Amino acid sequence: MASEPSQEKFTELEDENRRLRRAVEELSILNAIGTAVSSTMSLKAIVELIVQESVRQLKVEQGAVMLLQDEKDTDPFRTMARKAHSADSDVVPFRFGQQLTGWMLKHQKPLLINDLQEDPRFKAVASSDFPIRSLLSVPLRAKGQMVGLLNVFNKRSKEGFSKADQKLLSIIASQSAQIVENARLYEELQRRSHELQESETKYRALMQEAGEAILLADLDTRRIIEVNEQAEKLTAVPRDALRGRTLADVVPVEEFADAAAFEKMQQDGHLQYSTVRLERRGAAASYVDVGASLVTYGGNRIVQVICHDVTEREKLSSHLRHHAEELEKEVQERTRDLRESQSQLVQQEKMAALGKLVAGIAHELNTPIGTINSNADTLGRSLAKLRGIITNESCNEAIRENPVLQHVLSVVDDISRVNQLASQRIVDIVTTLRNFARLDEADLKIADLHEGLESTLTLVRHELKNRVRVVKEYGDIPPIRCHPNQINQVFMNLLVNASQAVKGKGEVRIKTFREDDMVNVQISDTGVGIPAENLPRIFDPGFTTKGVGVGTGLGLSICFKIVQDHRGNIDVRTEVGKGSTFTVRLPVGDRKSAGQPS
Amino acid sequence: MTDTTNSRVPLLVIVDDEEMVLASLRSFLTLETDYELLTFDSPLKALESIRENRIDLVISDYLMPEMTGIEFLLEVKKLQPYATRVLLTGYADKENAIRAINEVNLYQYIEKPWNNEDLKLIIQNGLERRFLMADLEAKIGEVQQAQRSLQDIQAQIIKPAFPI
């Protein structure tokens, strides 16, 4: 009887003792875990400690912590630690079936199963290597988020897991989840930091070994922080001297000196590429393609400028440009030459056609005008004889003194004289035409042009009179092979034209000089000049401004043909009111062959 | 002049297919000279006459329907080599002139329209040349004749010297 209360007491005490012991155990777990928090234990060590304590406290065969992982393509959980209940028993790895993890992920609440083999939900989980009889799984939560699972398997006693076990494991889980998460975050941070360091090291190595010149500058100050070896070579400035200088100072890109452009770069992340010329002390300037972009380096946003040396390309392109310009020039010259030779050809064709026409006309006119001219002359002679007879003393006085006969004779005399003058003019014109049509007649000779000019001047003296002063500037020119009569005709035409161009008093200047292989004869006047509208036609046959009876309109076209036949050229510079200058250029030719006419 | 070297009146032949040329030349030469003139508008008719008469000078046109002036003068040269040959042409062609001078042994080449005074001078000189040539020919003949006589005499003198 007495034992009953003591028995009761004992039971109470025992219960109390068990509760206390449980509390101590819980406290010791919390203590152990708390120690881990303050220590610098790694995530793995912390997880192992949690698993170890769980296995020990809950008296199970195995325990494990699984953490949720970010990678989506593998299992949602990664097993971080697995522990058997004693050090000498093997930890048999097994797959904590996806049905279970899936269930936990979905429900996120403790799961207690004591007869797994019988549970229809998880039948397939049982592994032959490690037959699971019972399990207890609780979620690890940090700040309300599930971060993993704390699992224990196979209670060593036969009774299986109790609600108390579940409560204990839940306490352990709730206490350790934040610590695990913190450790995980810390490790993640460490890993990231390490990765960053690695990438920085890699970047630095890349930058230094890069084939292109790279300059790094602070985004705000735009001053250079770092450069690579290529940048030193490119700028011909050592690294230490480059550091601290402003970017625009080293690489003359307009945008580098422009704050607005920099702001725009901050938005776009890059600058347009442009080619700039780099002046280098003690070396030839170089050309670089410059590109700038924003990069993160050592955690800071900085400007990365890459300079691609394109000096060779620029040289080539400048060479090509130069070449293209040369070609363009040559094309223009050729075009001008072609145009000139085309107009010369046209002129030549005109001359040839005109030559044929003139020859035909001259031939047709020769006979009738020859006859008329001869008859006019004969008539004059006849009249002279007749008058001689009539005026002779021996003649009958009635006839000699007959006034009507005298009158008729003087009329016929006048007519005859006029006929002779008129026919002579036609003869002159026909002769001119004929000379124009066959300019190749006389033989080639070696002639001194100064002699030709002098004799021509003698012939045109009546035209010059005292009105026109002739200034001679004879230079040193060699005798040339030519048809002297034809060349003299050219001088004659030009001198007569020059003299006629001078109204009133004036000057005609004759200048001769040698230029390369050409002898130049310039005949300038201080006359009226040639109006622009007439200029294209002055060498055309039949074009005259002198008026009917003064010019044939053939003078300059004859000059043109003669000079052309001598393989020379003739041109004119003129200014209305100031005068004209005609320049005749004749080739010096080969003096040796000139001695022997071909 | 005509009477200085030769007493007979010079005979001239003029050929041109244009009657007006013949007429004006006839007018001028009749007025200014006392030459005897034969004018033809056809070279063939002219050749017939030249075969019959001894002529001193011939003036021919170049371009004619029957033959050219050069062909004609070539015939004249065969018939009467001492007659002076003159080409009077309106055909402006140097090539033919050179050919004429070389082939026909032309004395002078005159272009139409001609100058009467120049023509008269050319004719006078041409005739003088023709008569001088004839005189020369005659003198050469005389000299040759004399030489032959001398050779005969020489032969007669030398022959007795070698009688055997």
Interface A-B, measured as beta-carbon pairs within 8 A, has a size of 68
Element (H, E) at A66: strand A60-68
Q: DSSP string covering A459-516, please?
A: HTHHHHTTTEEEEEE------EEE-HHHHHHHHHHHHHHHHHH--SSEEEEEEEEEET
Cβ pair B112:A375 closer than 8 A? no
What digits encode the pLDDT tens for the residues B72-121? 999 999 999 889 999 988 765 666 666 667 778 888 888 888 999 999 99
What digits encode the pLDDT tens for the residues A216-271? 888 888 888 888 888 888 888 888 888 888 888 888 887 777 777 777 777 776 76
Q: DSSP string covering A543-571, please?
A: --SS-TTT--S-HHHHHHHHHHHTT-EEE
Contact A235, A250 (CB under 8 A): yes
Handedness of CA B126, B128, B129, B134 (dihedral sign): positive
| Closest chain B C-alpha to A368 CA, distance in angstroms | 8
| Mean pLDDT along residues A282-311 | 80
Q: Cβ neighbours of residue A293 under 8 Å, at least 6 residues apart? A: A265, A269, A270, A271, A303, A304, A306
Mean pLDDT is lowest, of A387-391, A591-595, B66-70, for: A591-595
What digits encode the pLDDT tens for the residues B12-23? 999 999 999 999
Q: Cβ neighbours of residue B97 under 8 Å, at least 6 residues apart? A: B87, B89, B109
Mean pLDDT is lowest, of A125-129, A527-531, B64-68, for: A125-129
Task: Compute the distance between CA of residue A54 and CA of residue B81 in angstroms, rounded to an integer.
Answer: 160
Cβ pair B24:A378 closer than 8 A? yes
- C-alpha distance from residue B55 to each of B21, B59, B127 (Å): 20, 11, 10
| Banded model confidence at residue A592, pLDDT cuts 50, 70, 90 | very low
Mutate to test the interface with B, among A357, A364, A367 (most CBs of B within 10 A): A367
Chain B residues in contact with A363 (beta carbon < 8 A): 90-92
| Mean pLDDT along residues A293-304 | 76
Percent of chain B with pLDDT over 90: 60
Cis bond leading into A76, ω under 30°? no
State if pTM tops 0.90.
no
Contact B54, B36 (CB under 8 A): no
Task: Compute the distance between CA of residue B72 and CA of residue B66 in angstroms, rounded to an integer.
Answer: 9
Mean of the per-residue pLDDT values of chain A: 80
B109 three-class SS: strand
User: What is the token pair recorded at A420?
Assistant: 């002779």
Task: Compute the distance between CA of residue A498 and CA of residue A462 in angstroms, rounded to an integer.
Answer: 14
Task: Compute the distance between CA of residue B159 and CA of residue A457 in angstroms, rounded to an integer.
Answer: 77
Residue spans of alpha helices (H) in chain B: 2-5, 19-32, 43-52, 69-79, 94-103, 116-161
Residue of chain A nearest B21, judged by CA positions? A371
Mean pLDDT is lowest, of A257-271, A327-341, A449-463, B141-155, for: A257-271
* Most confident segment among A35-44, A293-302, A322-331: A322-331
DSSP A246: B
Residue B42: predicted pLDDT: 95
First to last CA, chain A: 172
Q: DSSP string covering A330-399, please?
A: HHHHHHHHHHHHHHHHHHHHHHHHHHHHHHHHHHHHHHHHHHHHHHHHHHHHHHHHHHHHHHSTTS-HHH
Q: Cβ neighbours of residue A542 under 8 Å, at least 6 residues apart? A: A553, A554, A557
DSSP B105: -
Q: Cβ neighbours of residue A217 under 8 Å, at least 6 residues apart? A: A223, A224, A225, A247, A302, A303, A305
| Banded model confidence at residue B147, pLDDT cuts 50, 70, 90 | very high
| Closest chain A C-alpha to B89 CA, distance in angstroms | 8
Task: Compute the distance between CA of residue A221 and CA of residue B12 in angstroms, rounded to an integer.
Answer: 121
Task: Compute the distance between CA of residue A183 and CA of residue A177 in angstroms, rounded to an integer.
Answer: 10
| Mean pLDDT along residues A148-168 | 84
DSSP A256: G
Handedness of CA A196, A202, A207, A208 (dihedral sign): positive
HSE-CB at A336 with a 13 A cutoff on CA atoms is: 5
Residue B148: predicted pLDDT: 92
Residue spans of alpha helices (H) in A243-288: 247-250, 259-268
Q: In degrees rounded to 5, what are phi and psi of residue A244?
A: 95, -20
Cβ pair B92:A377 closer than 8 A? no
Q: Please determine, for residue A347, whether its predicted confidence score (pLDDT) is greater than 70.
A: no
Amino acid at A46: I
Q: Please determine, for residue A440, whether its predicted confidence score (pLDDT) is greater than 60.
A: no
| Mean pLDDT along residues A528-546 | 80
Nearest to A153 by CA among A229, A97, A70, A221: A97
Percent of chain A with pLDDT over 70: 85
Task: Compute the distance between CA of residue B141 and CA of residue A489 in angstroms, rounded to an integer.
Answer: 51
Residue A89: predicted pLDDT: 65
Q: Identify the residue with better confidence: B122 or A438.
A: B122
Residue A5: predicted pLDDT: 67
Q: Please determine, for residue B1, whether its predicted confidence score (pLDDT) is greater than 50.
A: no
In total, chain B counts a number of residues equal to 164
Cβ pair B28:A434 closer than 8 A? no
Q: Please determine, for residue A383, whether its predicted confidence score (pLDDT) is greater than 50.
A: yes
Query: Given A363, A375, A438, which is nearest B27 (Cβ)?
Result: A375
Residue A564: predicted pLDDT: 84
Residue A548: predicted pLDDT: 52
Cβ pair B113:A373 closer than 8 A? yes
| Banded model confidence at residue B146, pLDDT cuts 50, 70, 90 | very high
Residue A318: predicted pLDDT: 85
Residue A598: predicted pLDDT: 34
Contact B11, B47 (CB under 8 A): no
Chain A residues in contact with B25 (beta carbon < 8 A): 374
Residue B73, judged by CB atoms within 10 A of its CB (0-12, 13-18, 19+), counts as buried
Q: Cβ neighbours of residue A504 under 8 Å, at least 6 residues apart? A: A467
Residue B163: predicted pLDDT: 56
Amino acid at A493: N
